[in-house]
A = this chain, B = another copy of it.
Amino acid sequence: MPREITAYSNPLVKRVRNLRDKRHRKDEGLFLAEGLRILAEAEETGVLPLWLFFAADGAGHPIARRLIAKVEAAGGEAIETTRDILHKLSGKDNPQTVIGVYAQPETGLERIDRSAAPIWLVAQSLRDPGNLGTMLRTGDAVGAGGLILIDDCVDPFSVEAVRASMGAMFTQRIAQARWPDFLAWLRAGPGLLVATHLEASVDYRVPDYGKPTFLLIGNEAQGLPADYAAAADVRVKIPMRGKADSLNAAVACAVMAYEVLGRIDGVRPPASRETA
């Protein structure tokens, strides 16, 4: 039977509330995800929350009922609470009716099985949690295996990143590594490293892409460091026809990822000429 918590001062409420802070997330090895849709997606991939908070008036939903039963069967705890406390936990004015507290997966490179997918996304010094979550969502959409975060990226377990991922947080592998360690790991097996680089001379629609392709996207403001780009097997640029010199990082990642997907699928050949 779910227990009920209605007091702001409850220690578990305080503890979970603190997970909106990166240091607490790291110390606890936990993170938050919100909403029936995302929690159901996690469940489908076999991931259940350790704690499941739900609003009394949302408990009747069939997905909520199933989640509550599964969490309790797995030894987790389902907790009935108020909308006010859900608001406090999520920080949103209109909180979802369920919030789950999940264990952070390990993010070592050694957990990545590169043969499991034809595309892997790699982001360097990414700053914006929305971009990070959006890249996970795009990765899921193109059948990528996961997102490898290089150097000092924003926390992939932040509430904003999890929200923007729309559940892809649970379907995509996440790894974190310093650049030299990533490069050593990459070169120890098959894989084509493709860098998007503003100074590249090759249109992104022209090269052949192999399996697996690792798509490397640089920091939002600076782009990739020149030596990182130089270490890639291929450097490509996306045509820019206007005044601006770059795309949003998550947008550039998606345009590249769909190009590689079309090529890997054999839906279309490389472009015969460049225009960029």
A contact residues vs B (CB 8 Å cutoff): 41, 44-45, 130, 134, 137-143, 164, 166-168, 171, 203, 205, 238-244, 246-248, 250-251, 254-255, 258, 261-262, 265, 267-268, 271-275
Contacts and interface: CB of A to CB of B under 8 A. Distances in A.
Contacts of A274: 267
Given A137-B244, A243-B44, A238 B258 contact: yes
A134 B134 CA distance: 12
A61 to B, nearest CB: 17
Contacts of A142: 239, 241-242
B271 A275 contact: no
B267 A143 contact: no
Given A138-B248, A248-B138, A258-B255, A41 B243 contact: yes
A72 to B, nearest CB: 24
Contact of A143 (B203, B242, B250, B265): B242
B141 A241 contact: yes
A256 to B, nearest CB: 10
Contacts of A41: 243-244
B240 A141 contact: yes
Contact of A141 (B140, B166, B247, B275): B247
Contacts of A130: 130
A167 B275 contact: no
A141 B243 CA distance: 7
Given A141-B239, A168-B242, 4 more contacts: A141-B244, A254-B254, A267-B273, A267-B275
Nearest to A130: B130
Given A205-B268, A255-B255, A273-B267, A242 B134 contact: no
B205 A262 contact: yes
A203 to B, nearest CB: 8
Contacts of A258: 238, 255
Nearest to A253: B251
Closest 4 CB pairs of A and B: A143-B241, A140-B242, A251-B254, A268-B271
A44 B242 CA distance: 12
A77 to B, nearest CB: 26
Contacts of A141: 238-242, 244, 247
Contacts of A243: 41, 44-45, 140, 167-168, 171
Contact of A244 (B168, B247, B271, B273): B168
B167 A134 contact: no
